[in-house]
Chain A
Amino acid sequence: MHLKNKILAPILLLTFVFSTFSNAKAQDSIFIQLKWRHQFQFAGYYAAVNKGYFKELGLNVYLREGGPHVISVNEIEKGRAQYAVSSSEIISDYISGKPLSVITVFFQHSPYVLLTSSNSNIKRPSDLIDKRVMAANDQGWTQIKAVFLKEGIDPSLLKVQQHQWGFKHLENGEADAMSAYSSFEPFMLDKIGIHYNIIKPVDYGVDFYGDLLFSSQDYVKNNAEEVEEVRDALIKGWEYAFSHREEMANYIMSLPGVQERGIDKSILLKEAEELYNLTQPDLIAIGHMNIGRWQAILNTYKELGLAPTDITLGNFIFTTTPDEYRHKFKNAFYISLGLLISILFVLIYNYQLKKEVRNQTQKIQTTTDELMLSNAELEKFAYVASHNLRAPVVNIISLLSLYNKENPSAKDNLYIIDKLDSTTKNLHNTLKDLIQVVSSKSVGMDTQELNIEQVYEEVKESISELIIRTETTIYTHFEVKEIYYSQKVLNSIFINLLTNSIKYKRPETPAIIEVSTRFKNNKIELRITDNGLGINLKKHGEKLFGLFQRFNPNIEGSGIGLHIVKKQVETLGGEIKVESTVNVGTTFYIYINSLAKV
């Protein structure tokens, strides 16, 4: 025995060393805790196992069935599973201090809904006050609570009772509502012939993610490569499952407990269809998650007082290293392995590598932030632009349908033609404005040495007729005159702000405008003050610089001037601020980065 051990020990050690280097993963079994009992909800997981997507990466993955008494977070915390499936509500566990990390999201929208029996006549959240609701903390309760809070209903007005996970409580009136998955329970109720109403959180402005894969932050940090492999295999699994629904349904029917629950193949196929709709693979790559949406979910928690206001997403979201970057990393690893002889060398190398990783990460982060910002801006632009284009087009269609073809000289026809004319011109102007806005983003190519006073005088000359007609007085005081800046932008600032001051003057008071420049905190401050109508900034402040935002229904305007000025000034690294008092006047301050030679 003793001798045997002596011989075996080095062999074992060798095997261990060998296997650690050659195929570390094959050593360990990986457990994925499913969220619920076997059904189509996990088809992508079965497919990844059955089709060998894990095996081909050398991963030994086992799936563990869930159920009413299995709580995914506990399984991760206790180390009984390395990965687990849950809904976006695990963010509440993260908020309560559990170091969890979301790896990937499969269902882009949450399937959680409230089912109520149809004879109870409960159709909207307010109908549930004082009614009995079956719910469970880890099963959609926060989303449902969010709906009530958003509707201004105190959730303590509901009688919440422990979820019994069957339909008889709803059927025999022991409960008035229950939380459920839109992809499953409704089809089961259809089958047994119980009528129901559905209350969907998304209809009340609560749109959370659905099923997702998560793990502990420690595990994710220490096994980043494996985590990515598991994720990618599952993405392949879901792609396979959605395109082979019959095959997957047949397989699921063969799993234990499925037929016993009264599930049949047609229910699984309906479940597949609903899950496909929630996953939206035509629009969004399977497994994609968006940090902006997580931020929105966290904000909902904060707004509802379910999370402290200072908490951030931190390490909650697992982020991918880009492929090319991963290769770089891999190569670096082998190189340093080769250079193991010189410990010093490796130390220096590692130090530089770390520095590079840090720099690169920072760069990626900055780019992501910038992209997110310009994305949000583009979305807003698309919204406003399409709205302002659609409105006149719709009017043209309606006017044409009202045109009396039988009797072209009908009195109404004259009016219609007149309106067609003005609407078409309006459409044309909107298009022109939009083109101007789009091109305003590419300013800055014409930066040159300019004399501010000279540019001002030219602009003033171009609107001299307006100035004389409205008896406007303009005082100037240019402490700074020489500037290195874009002529186009400076023109645009003067034109837009001066004409605004004249346009929005008080009816009986001639406009008095003061234009001045000076140095302030290393920047050039260009100030334009008027004695006009002023703007209620408390009410309109946020929208003041918005595209097509208009505040005075009595004065003609397109609502793009200030938007363009702000865009142009900011593109050149400057800033625009406004102070205003209603019926006293408005001051615009433009801060230009000091490119100036005095």
Chain B
Amino acid sequence: MSADSITTLTNIRSHLLCKIYIPEYRINAGDTPFATNLLFSDLNRGNNITYDGHTYTGLGVLLGVTTSNSELRPSSSELTISISGIPNGSLGIVINSKLKGCSVIIYRVLCDGVTGEVLSLLEANPFARFRGFVNNYSLQEEYDVNSRTSKNTMLLICKSSLDVLQNKISGRLTNSVSEKKYFPFDLSMDRVAALQNTSFNFGVPKA
């Protein structure tokens, strides 16, 4: 397929691809962790898309991504990815894997408005829309009284890389607790608390 310019197209639609890299992925508690990518898109179920060697599973309306800003200058931003319809049996994966701090990339992919095929454009396609990290996550249960079953929604709160940089580790303080957090066996800061507001009678002759 030859590459088209986006300006020549009259009917296009866009979809989102989410890639979450999880360095410590566990299915059950106690399993040896392994690294994996969670790959999904908002295309309809069964319409998987392959990009950069990865296949993104279509979740359709089960995937939700809030809006994000696009600015010329780097700016801090936050968005939330929601994945609905998680069965109870899969909750263990969410709980046992280390989701916080995982890197997140969201791509926007442009498809033909009629055929749904990924467009081959002179411009890059897909292109990155958001890069950041999972800052926090939460689970919401939707209980169906009639069927007495529940489905769960996972919310991944993502912050942009700039936010993570601004959320700098506070650094070392001159006190024992802070020192031992980084160097557990070091005693050099142990007396700081005792020295606070202490004065010495320097030069006073001792009997």
A binds B: no
The residues of B with any CB-CB pair to A shorter than 8 Å are: none
The residues of A with any CB-CB pair to B shorter than 8 Å are: none
